[in-house]
């Protein structure tokens, strides 16, 4: 990955020159074989700090590492067995076939599982370990393995390990229990990472759709010469407010608009935050010589905003869209006349504003 | 692509040099035109503070990366008199004189991360970061 | 004089090309004040089209110039603020309250040309 290499080099030169312009955790240096999982790590914000935090949350301590070290060979010598426990359980479930029924997936998963088991008792649970977990999580996700199935199989595996520990510490069940609990801390650390990753991936599509919707929903329409209409629907958060403002300002320049009508009838919540966003939009437009009329602000909302200390005069509000349009047209210099066909050409109203 | 650039700030003219450097780096990294202007404006504000209050200082502009995102870091340093009451200076609307109007709190709104270290007689260091969306 | 000042009818047009220093701006202000008197100008257009940044200092100075013009009996209009610049200004909390603004030179002249209050933006 180009980006990774460049960033890595930059970090090294920063440390060498000692200029200290970067803070810890800014760049992750891990081997390039696990690229998709690394990318995912970055997107999820799984840096050294976050990993350390996760270890803290499950309560992983030095005593746990000691206990795990004590039974390392017990696990590593039976890796194949334990991997089988996991996959046999999956195979027995219809839902598990998502993984076991697909040969290349099954083989890859098995390989990763073996590595997982070894790493689980390896006492290194940093970013490299997490990257490994993510690789497996990505595989499960791609294969369509459901979370509840994964959890069940994993639990079954833990149960088998627990049994082995009891046998091993035959005369000291307390020790077996404590050791098992230490291992479970790691297991729950793993589950935390894996579940977060799987959920993150699932939500990726939703996030993409949300972004697309946001972009589409800030239209600026030129409905008359030098007159713009912005019908705003939905939620206005900081990001959207910025999109709206940028869109409006560019349209003012492109259309040489003198007036813009911003209709907020469709905006769900208008609190002081949103009102301030709107005021900023209006102020910016004014700097470009355009006046903005805000329509669609109900009397109740207007009252509550005033009660909150918002200066509504800055917003030049008009109750409804029609009224706003009329005022806008007047500002631009239009004179609206209506011709009533029913009454014949002799009787046409001259409704100039 | 330009790497870190350090601009000595001594005269008014240097304010423009510094903000241009910031703009160019941001442009090279792919920042939108709007974000480039926000960054350049922020640099202009802190550079002017150096000229007005400290007389002399430096502004370093460089690239920074975190969690897969690229960004610009700006470090403004001076050995001026320092800010006596930082909390007060950071309060919106506060002004010590005719020159410092929206300065610090306003500048903070233009960027994603803002850090200020200052003490009377010990100079001031302002660190700004802006991340690519 | 680093800022070119043109005259169109009884309106002065100052096109600011690049970020000006303290001294340049003071010079500009004084020059405008002088010309308003000498040439009996009734309007001043300050064209900021070429500026890519308007920080708090520049904004204050522009307000200053507009104020000076007003004291001399001339109306001023600031024109040409670009979308990005306008956005940055409101983020920073700057305003040109009390100073008329228009999109560009053409609009600025139109604004000064008419005496109708309803057309005025910001004044």
**C83 to chain B: closest CA residue:** B34
Number of domains making up chain C: 1
**Binned average pLDDT, 10 residues per bin, chain A of 353 residues:** 33 34 36 68 85 93 94 93 95 91 91 93 90 91 90 95 94 95 95 90 82 75 93 88 94 96 90 92 96 91 88 84 90 78 50 41
Residues on chain C touching B92 (C-beta within 8 angstroms): 93
Note whether residue C115 is domain-resident. Answer: no
For C81, the domain range is 5-107
Q: What's the pLDDT at A142? A: 86
State the pLDDT at residue C117.
38
Number of domains comprising chain B: 1
Give the per-residue pLDDT at B103. Answer: 65
Domains of chain A from N-terminus onward: 31-211 (1.10.490.10), 221-336 (3.30.750.24)
**DSSP run (H or E) holding B131:** strand B124-131
Q: Which domain range does residue B33 map to?
A: 5-131
User: How far, in Å, CA of A109 to CA of A145, rounded?
Assistant: 12
pLDDT at B6 over 50: yes
Interface test with C, best of B102, B104, B105 (most C CBs within 10 A): B102
Q: Which residues from A are below 8 Å from C86, CB to CB?
A: 249, 284-285, 287-288
The C-alpha of A251 sits at a distance from chain B's nearest C-alpha, in angstroms, of 15
pLDDT band, residue B102 (cuts 50/70/90)? low
Lowest-pLDDT choice from A183-187, B100-104, B122-126: B100-104
Instruction: Tell me which chain A residues have a C-beta less than 8 angstroms from the C-beta of C101.
Output: 286-289
Distance CA A264, CA A139 (A): 45
CA distances, A172 to each of A163, A164, A182, B105 (Å): 13, 13, 16, 63
Residue C114 covered by a domain:
no
Interface of A with B in 12-51 (CB under 8 A): 19, 21-22, 25-27, 39, 42-43, 45, 47
Question: What confidence score (pLDDT) does residue B85 get?
Answer: 72
Q: What is the CATH number of the domain that holds B72?
A: 3.30.565.10
User: Out of A305-309, B55-59, B94-98, C100-104, which region has the weakest mean confidence (pLDDT)?
Assistant: B94-98
Task: Find chain B residues with C-beta within 8 A of A16's C-beta.
Answer: none
Tell me the average pLDDT of chain C.
88
Of the partner residues B34, B68, B73, the one whose CB lies closest to the CB of residue A42: B68
Say whether residue C91 is in contact with chain B using an 8 A CB cutoff: yes
- Tell me the C-alpha distance between C33 and C35, whole Å: 6
Angle (CA) A327 A330 A332, round 5° = 115
- C25 lies in some domain: yes
Dihedral angle sign, alpha carbons of residues C115, C116, C122, C123? positive
- Kindly report the backbone phi and psi dihedral angles of residue C98, in degrees, each rounded to the nearest multiple of 5, phi listed first: 90, -10
Q: ipTM of this model?
A: 0.90
CATH code of the domain containing C62: 3.30.750.24
Please, are residues C17 and C52 in contact by the beta-carbon 8 Å criterion? no
Query: So what's the pLDDT on residue A5?
Result: 32
Residue B34 contacts A, CB cutoff 8 Å: yes
pLDDT at B99: 42
pLDDT the model gives residue A22: 35
What is the model's pTM?
A: 0.64
Chains that touch A (3 or more CB pairs under 8 A): B, C
């Amino acid at each position: 990955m180009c980006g990774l290499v460049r960033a890595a080099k930059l970090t090294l030169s920063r440390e060498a020159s000692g200029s200290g312009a970067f803070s810890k955790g800014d760049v992750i240096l891990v081997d390039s074989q696990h690229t998709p999982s690394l990318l995912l790590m970055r997107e999820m914000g799984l840096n050294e700090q976050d990993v350390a935090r996760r270890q803290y949350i499950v309560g992983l301590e030095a005593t746990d590492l000691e206990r795990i070290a004590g039974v390392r060979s017990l696990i590593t010598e039976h890796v194949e067995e334990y991997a089988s426990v996991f996959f046999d359980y999956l195979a027995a479930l219809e839902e598990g076939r998502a993984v076991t029924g697909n040969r290349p997936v099954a083989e890859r998963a098995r390989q990763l599982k073996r590595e997982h088991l070894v790493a689980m008792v390896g006492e290194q649970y940093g970013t490299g370990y997490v990257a490994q977990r993510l690789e497996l999580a990505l595989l499960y996700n791609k294969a369509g393995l459901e979370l509840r199935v994964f959890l069940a199989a994993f639990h079954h595996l833990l149960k088998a390990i627990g049994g082995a520990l009891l046998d091993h510490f035959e005369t000291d069940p307390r020790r077996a229990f404590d050791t098992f609990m230490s291992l479970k801390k790691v297991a729950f650390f793993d589950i935390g990472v894996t579940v977060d990753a799987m959920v993150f991936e699932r939500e990726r599509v939703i996030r993409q759709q949300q972004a697309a919707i946001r972009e589409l929903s800030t239209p600026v329409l030129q409905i008359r010469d030098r007159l713009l209409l912005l019908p705003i629907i939905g939620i206005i958060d900081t990001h959207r407010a910025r999109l709206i403002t940028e869109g409006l300002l560019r349209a003012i320049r492109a259309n040489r608009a003198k007036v813009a009508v911003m209709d907020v009838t469709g905006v769900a919540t208008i609190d002081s935050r949103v009102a301030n966003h709107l005021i900023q939009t209006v102020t910016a437009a004014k700097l470009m010589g355009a006046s903005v009329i805000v329509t669609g602000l109900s009397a109740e909302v207007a009252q509550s905003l005033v009660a909150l200390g918002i200066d509504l005069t800055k917003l030049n509000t008009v109750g409804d869209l029609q009224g706003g349009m009329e005022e806008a047209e007047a500002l631009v210099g239009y004179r609206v006349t209506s011709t009533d066909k029913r009454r014949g050409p002799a009787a046409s109203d001259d409704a100039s504003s | 692509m330009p790497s870190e650039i350090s601009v000595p700030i001594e005269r008014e003219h240097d304010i423009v040099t510094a903000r241009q450097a910031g703009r160019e780096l941001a442009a090279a990294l792919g920042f939108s035109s709007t974000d480039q202007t926000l960054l350049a404006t922020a640099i202009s504000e802190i550079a002017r503070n150096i000229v007005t209050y400290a007389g002399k200082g430096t502004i370093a502009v460089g690239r920074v990366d975190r969690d897969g995102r690229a960004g610009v870091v700006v470090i403004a340093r001076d050995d001026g008199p320092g800010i006596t009451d930082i909390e007060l200076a950071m309060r919106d609307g506060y002004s010590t004189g005719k020159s410092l109007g929206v300065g610090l709190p306003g500048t903070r709104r233009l960027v994603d991360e803002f850090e200020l270290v200052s003490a009377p007689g010990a100079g001031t260091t302002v660190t700004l970061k802006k991340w690519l969306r | 004089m680093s800022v070119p000042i043109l005259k169109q009818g009884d309106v002065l047009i100052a096109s600011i090309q690049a970020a000006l220093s303290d001294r340049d701006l003071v010079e500009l202000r004084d020059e405008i004040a002088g010309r308003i008197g000498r040439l009996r100008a009734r309007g001043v257009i300050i064209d900021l089209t070429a500026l890519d940044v308007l920080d708090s200092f520049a904004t204050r100075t522009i307000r200053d110039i507009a104020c000076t013009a007003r004291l001399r009996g001339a109306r001023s209009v600031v024109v040409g603020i670009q979308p990005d610049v306008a956005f940055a200004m409101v983020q920073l909390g700057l305003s040109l309250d009390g100073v008329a603004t228009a999109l560009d030179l053409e609009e600025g002249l139109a604004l000064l040309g008419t005496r109708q209050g309803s057309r005025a933006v910001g004044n």
